[in-house]
């Protein structure tokens, strides 16, 4: 009987102003840190990180992230780490920054601390990176032999990020239970390399329940820049529950279709990861033959968060059927997670389901 596998970060810390405790928590992990962040994030976090690390007598070297989680960017930052003889990597920012930081730490064989400044993806807790080309086209998943040593989430920082990113994180997390239950049904493989555990199943279910219960009031609070109990619950769902759920539970069609969308040119590349996953989730529900009312429940929820539910909102209103076939072909290629839904799905099935979601969604627009 195949093994079940459950993985998680060594420690997860979340709360308002948690960034001021960063030095306290990393003291035992290393003494010379390489901090990776983009310029905007560094402007927001530099003062509190400086204060926290200096109070713990921790030295660091800062490298500005150039914006794409590509092998070239990883190799550039690795050289900075070697020159400065660092023994700990701290990634501060969004999903691509964090994925890059993990890859750098893995190559340098040092410990990794993840400090997400948005709740926009479930990347922070995982032992994997999504690697893109320099132009932003999906290339591969890079898997590691351990999860981050520490994930620290400051909700006071999270609510200062654009609300659109918070909504995107909800969308990414909403795919978790949809994809995990498909993986369980097909007896598929989780990203961690084994079968889905009872724990991962329960966490994935709790993730979706939390989002449906608290997602809208949390989003409204973030629009006002305030931390509430709803916000704390949804940040935990977006980051911890979704991260543990997808990695130990499994990905399926929603993320495979997201990856398929990256092969197209045009304004779709201006959408976030979560925005594309939202549409991919609806396509998976369509492929799975869910009742119309159930699909409409997700569509209504996504609309309240400003997420795309039509091809026009994906900037694909002028896409040809051949373009959608390309998306389908990319989503079913060997090694993609579509197999956790079904290995019988064709590129045409995907293209047709993409169109069917658009038709259903547009019919309900008043």
CATH of the domain at 287: 1.20.1090.10
Q: Domain end: 117, 137, 158, which one? A: 158
Instruction: Note the pLDDT of residue 366.
Output: 67
Spell out the per-residue pLDDT of the chain, length 366, in tens. Answer: 569 999 999 999 999 999 999 999 999 899 899 999 999 999 999 999 999 999 999 999 999 999 999 999 999 999 999 999 999 999 999 889 999 999 999 999 999 999 999 999 888 999 999 999 998 888 988 999 999 999 999 999 999 999 999 999 999 999 999 999 999 999 999 999 999 999 999 999 999 999 999 999 999 999 999 999 999 999 999 999 999 999 999 999 999 999 999 999 999 999 999 999 999 999 999 999 999 999 999 999 999 999 999 999 999 999 999 999 999 999 999 999 999 999 999 999 999 999 999 999 999 886
The residue range of the domain holding 125 is 12-158
263/145 same-domain check: no
Q: Domain end: 158, 192, 212, which one? A: 158
29/146 same-domain check: yes
26/149 same-domain check: yes
142/28 same-domain check: yes
Residues marked as catalytic: 172, 255, 258, 273
Cα 157 off chain centre by: 18
Domain assignment present for 116 = yes
Q: Which residue has the tokens 């490298």?
A: 63
152/256 same-domain check: no
140/20 same-domain check: yes
18/154 same-domain check: yes
Instruction: Note the pLDDT of residue 1.
Output: 56
Domain assignment present for 101 = yes
Domain assignment present for 356 = yes
Domain assignment present for 32 = yes
CA-to-CA distance for 282 and 309, rounded, in angstroms? 8
Q: Which residue has the tokens 């997602």?
A: 215
Domain assignment present for 357 = yes
Query: Apex CA 118: angle with CA 218 and CA 275, to 5°?
Result: 75
152/258 same-domain check: no
Instruction: Note the pLDDT of residue 95.
Output: 87
Beta-strand relationship, 59-64 and 88-93: unpaired
How big is the chain by its Cα radius of gyration, in Å? Answer: 20
Helix (H) or strand (E) holding 295: helix 292-304
Domain assignment present for 173 = no
28/154 same-domain check: yes
Burial 262-272 (b: 16+ CB within 10 A, else e): bebeeebeebb
Q: How far apart are the first and last CA of the chain?
A: 52
Q: Domain end: 158, 187, 221, which one? A: 158
CATH of the domain at 99: 3.40.50.1970
CA-to-CA separations, 226 to 8, 41, 220, 235, in angstroms, rounded: 29, 19, 9, 13
Domain assignment present for 280 = yes
- Number of domains making up the chain: 2
Domain assignment present for 195 = no
């Amino acid at each position: 009987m195949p093994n079940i596998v459950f993985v998680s970060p060594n420690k997860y810390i979340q709360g308002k102003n948690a960034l001021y405790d960063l030095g306290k928590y990393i003291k035992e992990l290393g003494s010379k840190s390489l901090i990776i962040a983009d310029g905007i994030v560094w402007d927001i976090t530099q003062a509190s990180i400086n204060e926290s690390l200096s109070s713990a007598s921790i030295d660091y070297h800062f490298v500005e992230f150039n914006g794409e989680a590509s092998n070239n960017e990883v190799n550039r930052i690795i050289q900075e780490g070697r020159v400065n003889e660092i023994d700990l990597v701290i990634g501060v920012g969004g999903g691509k920054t964090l994925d890059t930081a993990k890859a750098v730490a893995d190559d340098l064989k040092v410990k990794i601390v993840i400090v997400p400044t948005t709740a926009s993806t479930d990347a922070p807790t995982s032992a994997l990176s999504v690697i893109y080309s320099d132009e932003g086209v999906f290339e591969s998943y890079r898997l590691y032999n351990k999860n981050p040593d520490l994930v620290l989430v400051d909700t006071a920082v999270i609510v200062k990020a654009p609300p659109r990113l918070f909504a995107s994180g909800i969308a990414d997390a909403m795919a978790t239970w949809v994809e995990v239950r498909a993986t369980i049904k097909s007896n598929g493989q989780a990203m961690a390399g084994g079968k889905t555990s009872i724990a991962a199943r329960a966490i994935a279910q709790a993730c979706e329940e939390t989002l449906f219960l608290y997602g809208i009031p949390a989003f409204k609070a973030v629009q006002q820049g305030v931390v509430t109990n709803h916000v704390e619950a949804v940040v935990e769902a977006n980051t911890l529950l979704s991260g543990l759920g997808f990695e130990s539970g499994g990905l399926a069609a929603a993320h495979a279709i997201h990856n398929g969308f990256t092969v197209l040119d045009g304004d779709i590349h201006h959408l976030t990861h979560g925005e594309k996953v939202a549409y991919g989730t609806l396509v998976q529900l369509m492929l799975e033959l869910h009742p119309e009312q159930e699909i409409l429940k997700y569509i209504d929820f996504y609309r309240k968060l400003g997420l795309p539910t039509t091809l026009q909102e994906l900037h694909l209103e002028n896409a040809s059927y051949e373009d959608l076939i390309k998306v389908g072909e990319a989503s079913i290629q060997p090694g993609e997670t579509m197999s956790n839904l079904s290995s019988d799905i064709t590129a045409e099935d995907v293209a047709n389901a993409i169109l069917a979601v658009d038709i259903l969604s547009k019919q309900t627009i008043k």
